Chain A
Amino acid sequence: MQKANRAPRTLGSVLNRSGVAGYVFILPFIIGLIVFTVVPFFTSLYLAFTEYNVLSPAKWIGLDNFRRMFFEDRLFWTSFKVTFKFAMIQVPIKLAVSLGVALLLARTTRLTGLYRAVFYIPSLMGGSVAIALLWKQIFAYNGVFNQILGAIGLPSGTRWLGDPRTALGTLISLGVWQFGSSMLIFLAAIKNIPESYHEAAIVDGAGPVKRFFSITLPMLTPILFFNLVNQVIGAFQAFNSSYLITGGAPLNTTLYYGVHLYNRAFKHYEMGYGSAMAWFMLLIIAFFTALIFRSSSAWVYYESEGR
């Protein structure tokens, strides 16, 4: 410790050194990150190898949780398949709808601003409990949706949320309805495509369809890529709609992975098993994200690559 020849260190001199003040400013965030994310993250990694009922200290049981997950827990595979199906159906539909609406709203008319706001509203309320409960009421057996179907002479006796064939689809419709945020991102990207490309194409005699597939879509692929990754991660983590609307019923056809995890960890006090499930999901999400990233070189076009 060679401090003798330095000037005495005051609080002011410490803070004046480059960077220190910056760290002080981000300190609240850093503390939050460590306390609420980093520590729980690694704690759950440890807990995944333990039996932990919350009431007594955790007990190390090695890979037992994973053995139980893969070979004993039927609902684990059920919930895994449900989540997979949910993601595979919801993500493409949601991307297509948000892109479609973005294309419609890209044209500027007097009411465009209003429309943009209106279409974004569902996303503002998206994750909220109130909307999930509203959905439950709308699609109830004697809910508004069936009454409308009845009023226009269509069969109105479907138990949308109670029939194993329609329940997951009803929840997916809620997810798709909340397309607003990806729509806004698409919209911004569409606006960024130079008008001159289209003008040149028109001069060459290209119609709207040709222009969409040859100009708009390729120019949007980086954004499509971004939205795809986001949506896939979001779909795998889905929780609210199943937990609040169906609770996994009927016949576990809407039992999302996240809901099964929550039930084991918080209803049955099996925190160790829940942690193991969470880590397995992390690996699955990482795998699919990596897959999308790997495939991106084949279909995502960046202008800087000069293609």
Chain B
Amino acid sequence: MKRFLSVLAAVMVMFTLLAPLTVSAEEGKTTLTILWWGSQTRHDLTIKMIEKFEEKYPDIDLVIDYSDWDGYWTKLSAQVAGGQTPDIMQMDYAYLAQYASNKVLAELDSFIASGELDVSDVSDSILTSGQIDGVTYALSTGTNAPVLLYRRDLVEAAGVELPMNATMSEYVAVSKAVYENSGMRDTFVTDCSADLLRFRLRSYGLNLYNDDATALGFDDPKYLVDMWQLALDAQNEGWGMVPGESSAATAFDSMVVDAWSRYQNSNELQAYRDATGLDISMVTIPDVDDATASATYLKPSMFWCVAEQSEHKDAAIKFINFFTNDPDCFDIVGVDRAIPISAKMREHIAPSLDDVSKEVVSFVDYVSQPGMASPLMNADPACHTDVSELLGQYSEQVRYGLVDDLTAFAQEFMDEANGILAAAAQK
């Protein structure tokens, strides 16, 4: 019995020893938690950048946590539900409205007004992108443009050239040539996702949703029909990926084994080159042949947000300010979270960039020229995930050849999507 008691005592002592470990706040130090998503390239850069921050602000201690994109939204929501919202979190356009309306995010206007968050070198349109109903909840980490990544080696081997600003028929011609030469296929026009539809609509000066997101931003089924018809043609002619034929385990992998082109964002060029080790380059999203506007648009690549329940908002703001305005930060992270939103920081990094980053910067500069891009996109409504998943279901049926009347089918989708949007708007 005595032995048992001493074991029990030891166990209890261990528990009391473990307890303080969880709240190891050093004297006088502010501890902040931070959560982001990204590739391995980003994790490495961000950790280095945070070490620099802690060096400059010795009274702040950052506890880091990160994830890939897929796991991120489960992880973040679980932490919010458990009352453990990270003080600083990375945010995406598709989720911003949802998190802001559920009061997870702190408003940043008062910190901007007090000057703690210095946005004097940031353009108004970028600031507006982080606002919901006129209140700033998020600050963009950088400006981005959707791009078409492609395997330059395969295009060259096919003896063709993909122009910087291709029309859809130019793109299709290159696609066919690459397919005939290497057997690698297209996953861009066959994707038929909400993003692809958005590009098509933008080419005609339209948007996926109307201004207050109470309905779709278009009422002619032809946009959907054209998108689906092109995908079906691509599949039938062989140069487009047939559904269920991809054997890639990851998106990176698909550019190695399946596809010669892929829609991504401009800041991801480096990650794709790192992960595949291949000669990957980028051009703008192809415009439809009868385009009246550009399919390309500038958008905030992602945001930094502060938790509403954070006890150290001022310290969290210091970090975001560091990320927005400090040359030391950008010497490390470069353009991994896209082109810095501060004009001064853009000037600062320009000379020191490596070749890939220079390509990214000049690409975004190119797109930023007047007339090259359609206006900044609005934040998607909270029910965007439902609408885009619905489109995925419809597109899959089309791509499996189950639909005879594409126009009626498109109308059916539009009615159902409008129903979702109307129901969400009423809540």
Q: Which residues of A contact B (CB under 8 A)?
A: 11-12, 15-16, 21, 24, 53-56, 133, 136-137, 140-143, 159, 161-164, 167, 249-252, 266-269
Q: Are A15 and B99 in contact (CB under 8 A)?
A: no
Q: Please indicate the chain B residues that have their CB under 8 angstroms from the CB of A267 in the complex.
A: 73, 385
**What interface size band does chain B fall in?**
20 to 34
Q: A231 to B246, alpha carbons, bound, how many Å?
A: 32
Q: Is the CB of A15 within 8 A of B4?
A: yes
B4, B81, B104, B402 — most chain A CB neighbours (10 Å):
B81
- Say yes or no for B8: interface residue by CB 8 A criterion: yes
Residue pair B104, A12 in contact (C-beta under 8 Å): no
Nearest chain B CB to A56's CB is how many angstroms away?
Answer: 5
Cα–Cα distance between A269 and B397 once the two chains are bound (Å): 26
Residues of B close to A11: CB separation below 8 A = 5
**Chain B residues with CB under 8 A of A167:** 244
A268 near B1 with CB under 8 A, answer: no
Asked if A159 and B77 sit within 8 Å, CB to CB, the answer is no
Chain A positions within 8 Å of B245 at CB level: 141, 159, 162
A250 to B244, CA, bound (A): 7
In the complex the two chains form, is B1's CB within 8 Å of A16's CB?
Answer: yes
**Chain B neighbourhood of A56, CB < 8 A:** 102-103
Please give me the 3 A-B residue pairs with the lowest Cβ-Cβ distance, nearest first.
A162-B244, A140-B247, A55-B102
- The one of A136, A140, A164 in contact with B400, judged by C-beta atoms closer than 8 angstroms, is A164
In the complex where A133-B249, A249-B396, A267-B73 touch, is A55 in contact with B5 (Cβ < 8 A)? no
| A53 and B243 contacting across the interface, CB-CB below 8 Å | no
A143 to B246, CA, bound (A): 10
| 334-349 of chain B: CB within 8 A of chain A | none
Instruction: Check if B386 is an interface residue, CB within 8 A of chain A.
Output: yes
Q: Which of A15, A55, A268 has a CB less than 8 Å from the CB of B386? A: A268
B residues within 8 A CB of A24?
A: 8
Residues of A within 8 A of B99 (CB): 55
Inter-chain contact A250/B396, CB cutoff 8 Å: yes
Q: Which A residues touch B244, using CB under 8 A?
A: 141, 159, 161-163, 167, 249-250
- B98 contacts A55, C-beta separation under 8 Å: yes
> SS class of chain B's interface: helix, strand, loop or mixed?
helix
Bound complex: CA A79 to CA B312 (Å): 45
Chain B nearest CB, measured from A215 CB (Å)? 48
Closest chain A residue, CB of each to CB of B80: A55
Q: Establish whether residues B385 and A268, one from each chain, have CB atoms under 8 Å apart when the complex forms.
A: yes
Q: What CA separation (Å) do A11 and B244 show in the bound complex?
A: 66
CB of A251 within 8 A of CB of B397, answer yes
The answer for the CA separation of A16 and B245 in the assembled complex, in Å, is 68
Taken together as a complex, chains A and B put the C-alpha atoms of A133 and B248 apart, in Å, by 11
CB distance from B422 to the nearest CB of A (A): 15
Chain A residue at minimum C-beta to C-beta distance from B73: A267
Is the pair A12, B102 in contact by a Cβ cutoff of 8 Å? no
Docked pose: A54 CA to B102 CA in angstroms: 9
Q: Which residues of B contact A252 (CB under 8 A)?
A: 393
Verify if B164 is at the interface (C-beta below 8 Å from A). no
Residues from chain B with Cβ under 8 Å of A140 in the complex: 246-247
CA A184 to CA B7, docked complex, whole Å: 39
The reply to whether A53 and B102 form a contact with Cβ atoms under 8 Å apart is yes
Which of A12, A136, A249, A266 meets B243, CB within 8 Å? A249
With known contacts A55-B80, A162-B242, A251-B400, A21–B249 Cβ distance under 8 A:
no
Interface pair B80/A54, CB less than 8 Å apart: yes
- Please encode chain B, from 246 to 260, with 1 for each CB lying within 8 Å of some chain A CB and 0 for all others: 110100000000000
Kindly state the separation between the CA atoms of A16 and B1 in the bound complex, as whole angstroms: 8
Cβ contact within 8 Å between B5 and A12: yes
- Identify the closest chain B residue to A139 (Cβ): B247
Partner of A12, one of B1, B247, B396: B1
Q: B386: nearest residue on chain A (CB-CB)?
A: A268
Question: Are A21 and B4 neighbours in the complex by a CB distance under 8 Å?
Answer: yes
Q: Pick the residue among A15, A133, A142, A159 that contacts B1 (CB under 8 A).
A: A15
Q: A15-B4, A164-B400 are known contacts. Are A250 and B243 too (CB-CB below 8 A)? A: yes
User: Cβ of A55 and Cβ of B243 under 8 Å apart?
Assistant: no
